[in-house]
Structure 1
Amino acid sequence: MVLTGLNMARVTALNPFMADGTKSHSQAENSVRPAVGFVWGTAIDELEAEWRDLEENAANPLPFTGFDFLWHWRAVFTTGKDAARPFAVTVRDNGRLVAVLPLMVTRVGPLNVCEWMGEPLTEYGDALVRRGYANPEWLEFAVKRLKACPDVDVFFLRKVRADTAIAPALDKLMSQAGPQRQAPWIDLSADMGIADVHKRLSSNLRKELRRKRKKLDAEGSTDFCIARAGPHAAAITERTIAHKQEWLRQRGTTSRAFADPRSVTFLNRLAADERRGQNLVVSELTIDGEPAASEIGFCSLDRYYAYIGAYNPEMAALGAGLVQMENTIGWCICEGMNAYDLFAPADAYKLRWTDNCVAVNDYAAARTIAGRLCNLWLARIRPLAKAVVMAMPPAIQQRLTRVLARG
């Protein structure tokens, strides 16, 4: 599905996931220990119907805990030499699935490392929890069972927002690994159009947006489109990835995701799948039909996640990325989205749009002696090494960041 010529005005509609009268179970009601199970490998497919029901009735579902996102991930990352072993920790109340922790075990040298299923493409990690069941004691019990898993040396759960369901349990039962980051997000809940967003921006940014729009209009005929998963979205996704990789190459750096070529395969699959890719949304700004800037994003509940943004290197001087982002925010308002999530870290260009941020942490815990050494690397040595590398000349950074991206 492709949308063009957008009317940037909010469409109001009843959100079936909000204000439905669902009452939260108190700790007294949930005092009985839940049934916690482990589902490995292809047996995860047997959970599909229950998992989807859980998604539809979750309090705050993330695109990265969705069955379809992880279905494509499993198809790409669980075969071959570096195959991951995916598993799900299930939490049940009288047989009803009320929470899932999507996880995996990977081999890193001699160690078995447990991470979020979906790595290195997961930007936020969390448990998928049924609305009304966000009981910290139940999730703590599930994490305790997880930490006893004999197949793991060290647990490394990255990018956990402070406001997620799993965060209190991890705060209590694991250690923070590395420095805390901030993830900016734009509050759109009271906005009726993009003009409301403009009112909150600095005068300098408003002027810059006007200049960029005039510059683009002088260059040629501009058009902006939104596409859901399908052939058009797949083509935009392919261009976005190519432009992003070129941008990284020019700066002599890489990302943890793009260090693994399977990530590109995954994103192209997801963008092309009209049935299993409907959380994916791509946007593109063109000038006389030529791609200028684009973005891969996800929608989940009433929140939009700005996943990968890029611009055509041949049009870098035009600043099309800023206008593309502005148009995408306008589309989000039109669609009734309440937030535009920019992820961590809190880069300067993101903070020009908002001062709303949420803390994001990595967590680690060791189960074996070898795992304790790995935990020391993750929590102390690796962050320090990364800071040292980033202070080095670009030519040296290019070599060493690839090593750190794999760790």
Structure 2
Amino acid sequence: MQTDVMTSSTHASVQQRLATKALEDLSVCVLQTREDLSEHKDQWQQLEHSARCSAVFQSFAWTMATLENSKVAQNLRIFAVFDERRMIAALPLRIEKQNGLRILTGLAEPFQQYSEMLLDPGYTPSIILELLKPHLQNVGADIIHLRQIREGGALYDYASEYFTEVGEVDGAPWLDLTQWGSFEDYLKSISSRTRKTIRNQRNRLHKSAGLSHRIIRQTDTELETLILSSLKGRESWVEAMGYSSRALQGDGLQQFLLALNKETGSGCELIAFELKHGDVPISTEWGFLYKHCYFAYMADWNPDYEQSSPGKLHQMDVIEACFALGIDRIDFLKPASRYKMTWTSEVASVFDVVSPLSFKGHLHAQIWLQNLRPLAKRFVLALPKGPRAFLMSSVKKIIG
């Protein structure tokens, strides 16, 4: 009796035929209107539920809120992949016009924190992205620019191999709360020195006027006021430090958040946390609850309490609240700043990538993104805070 033996080359051939057959069974549809998206709401949300990554910034709620901006809605390009009639992947992008360039980028830029593709876990990311490749290349863009691709997501491995990295690699700290049975157990994992320092800082504030912490949910009428107030505080801090933020320019983020806050029951919930010293707010943090994960989107603090490290103090209350709410995971988002790393040792790599599609796109990538922009950024960040703030304020006035 002879036993059939499959060699490695035969196995590879079989795998290739299976992959080819899989591609033949799939189809791509480019959604370009709100109506197109609305027609696929149920399938989109089913895909969200089954996708292996928590892509809150590509959720149906985020996508619809983004389209409240008419300029974004006019340039919508959502690449949806179907296996027969079932949606198995969605990559929400848009064409951004910038200095004569047409840039294919994340739909919710500059508000989204990750670029990601929703993908059914039964499909291989590289196969789906190879299928999408000609469609991405033929939308009339000069360059594909995907910002903040996170390690562990559906885009990460493919983008690492086939796209060009630009800018600096950063990190997104995260915390898996299911490792501990309670908040008290979790605190034991923090160094005794850190616990002592924070305890002493909190005790000093407790003795003078007391500390209190509260959670503000999406149904609370105060939520919008608190978020809008924190946006103003954050904008003032960015300006005073001499930094820049595309997300805080104009009132786009404000309008987006107001639209998102109306999307109740969508599976993506706005939530805020506030720490007070007596009646004085000293730190505010807010973000999104999505698929048992809290995404810590923005923080603001009272500058009068800077010596007490209000952000670090408040983070302890936020983590304790997440335990009480039954949240499984916290994503602190980038950057991997020191106060975040006080509370976790886990960091996911995050990077930006480009793929030029035209001569202008190649020039933009090579001259600006890969060379001049990093040099300019290093120069500005090396300046003392005062001169840096003056320079950025002057540039802002010049460009309007």
C-alpha distance after superposition, 1:13-60 (max 9, x if no partner): xxxxxxxxxxxxx98765421211211132323222221121122222
Selected match of 1:353 from 343, 354, 374: 343
- CA shift at 1:293, angstroms? 1.0
| Correspondence 1:206 to 2:201 | no
Find the counterpart in structure 2 of residue 186 from structure 1.
Answer: 175
Find the counterpart in structure 1 of residue 63 from structure 2.
Answer: 70
SS of 1:216's partner is: helix
SS of 1:115's partner is: strand
Q: Point out the more displaced range, 156-165 or 384-393.
A: 384-393
SS of 1:179's partner is: strand
Selected match of 1:36 from 19, 28, 35: 28
SS of 1:151's partner is: coil
- CA shift at 1:371, angstroms? 0.7
Structure 1 letter corresponding to 2:275: L
Distance 1:212 1:237 in 2: 26
SS of 1:189's partner is: helix
Structure 2 letter corresponding to 1:70: T
Selected match of 1:164 from 153, 156, 180: 153
Distance 2:294 2:230 in 1: 18
C-alpha distance after superposition, 1:256-307 (max 9, x if no partner): 2112431122224434554558422211112334322111111222322111
- The 8 Å contact of residues 270 and 286 in structure 2, kept in 1 or not, is answered as yes
Find the counterpart in structure 1 of residue 384 from structure 2.
Answer: 393
- CA shift at 1:176, angstroms? 1.1
Selected match of 2:88 from 67, 78, 98: 98
Find the counterpart in structure 1 of residue 229 from structure 2.
Answer: 239
- Structure 1 spans left out of the alignment, 5+ residues: 1-25
SS of 1:200's partner is: coil
Change (3 A) 1:131 1:330: same
SS of 1:328's partner is: helix
- CA shift at 1:100, angstroms? 0.2
User: How many pairs does the alignment contain?
Assistant: 376
Distance 1:27 1:302 in 2: 37
- The RMSD of aligned alpha carbons is 2.5
Distance 2:189 2:265 in 1: 38
SS of 2:153's partner is: coil
- The 8 Å contact of residues 144 and 356 in structure 2, kept in 1 or not, is answered as yes
Structure 1 letter corresponding to 2:80: T
Change (3 A) 1:252 1:133: same
Selected match of 2:50 from 57, 62, 65: 57
Q: Point out the more displaced range, 163-172 or 242-251.
A: 242-251
Find the counterpart in structure 1 of residue 12 from structure 2.
Answer: none
Change (3 A) 1:396 1:365: farther
- CA shift at 1:364, angstroms? 0.1
Distance 1:107 1:386 in 2: 22
- The 8 Å contact of residues 178 and 362 in structure 1, kept in 2 or not, is answered as yes
| Correspondence 1:133 to 2:123 | yes
| Correspondence 1:270 to 2:254 | no
Distance 1:237 1:260 in 2: 16
Percent of residue pairs identical: 26
- Structure 2 spans left out of the alignment, 5+ residues: 1-14
Distance 1:210 1:368 in 2: 57
Find the counterpart in structure 2 of residue 3 from structure 1.
Answer: none
Change (3 A) 1:320 1:271: farther
- The 8 Å contact of residues 244 and 309 in structure 1, kept in 2 or not, is answered as yes
TM-score (norm 1): 0.85
Selected match of 1:324 from 311, 314, 326: 314
Selected match of 1:312 from 274, 278, 302: 302
Structure 2 letter corresponding to 1:40: Q
Distance 2:222 2:175 in 1: 27
- CA shift at 1:335, angstroms? 3.0
- The 8 Å contact of residues 237 and 271 in structure 1, kept in 2 or not, is answered as no
Distance 1:104 1:240 in 2: 28
Find the counterpart in structure 1 of residue 369 from structure 2.
Answer: 378
Structure 1 letter corresponding to 2:86: R
- CA shift at 1:395, angstroms? 4.2
- CA shift at 1:185, angstroms? 1.5
- CA shift at 1:67, angstroms? 0.9
Distance 2:33 2:387 in 1: 40
Change (3 A) 1:190 1:108: same
Distance 2:60 2:17 in 1: 31
Selected match of 2:113 from 98, 113, 123: 123
> Which 4+ stretches in 1 moved above 6 angstroms?
none
Distance 2:184 2:191 in 1: 13
- CA shift at 1:330, angstroms? 1.2
Change (3 A) 1:86 1:395: farther
Structure number, greater radius of gyration: 2
Structure 1 letter corresponding to 2:214: C
Greater fraction of residues in helix: 2
C-alpha distance after superposition, 1:100-129 (max 9, x if no partner): 001011110111011111100111111011
- The 8 Å contact of residues 140 and 173 in structure 1, kept in 2 or not, is answered as no
Selected match of 2:286 from 296, 304, 310: 296
- CA shift at 1:237, angstroms? 1.0
- The 8 Å contact of residues 173 and 336 in structure 2, kept in 1 or not, is answered as yes
Distance 2:317 2:145 in 1: 37
Find the counterpart in structure 1 of residue 11 from structure 2.
Answer: none
Find the counterpart in structure 1 of residue 8 from structure 2.
Answer: none
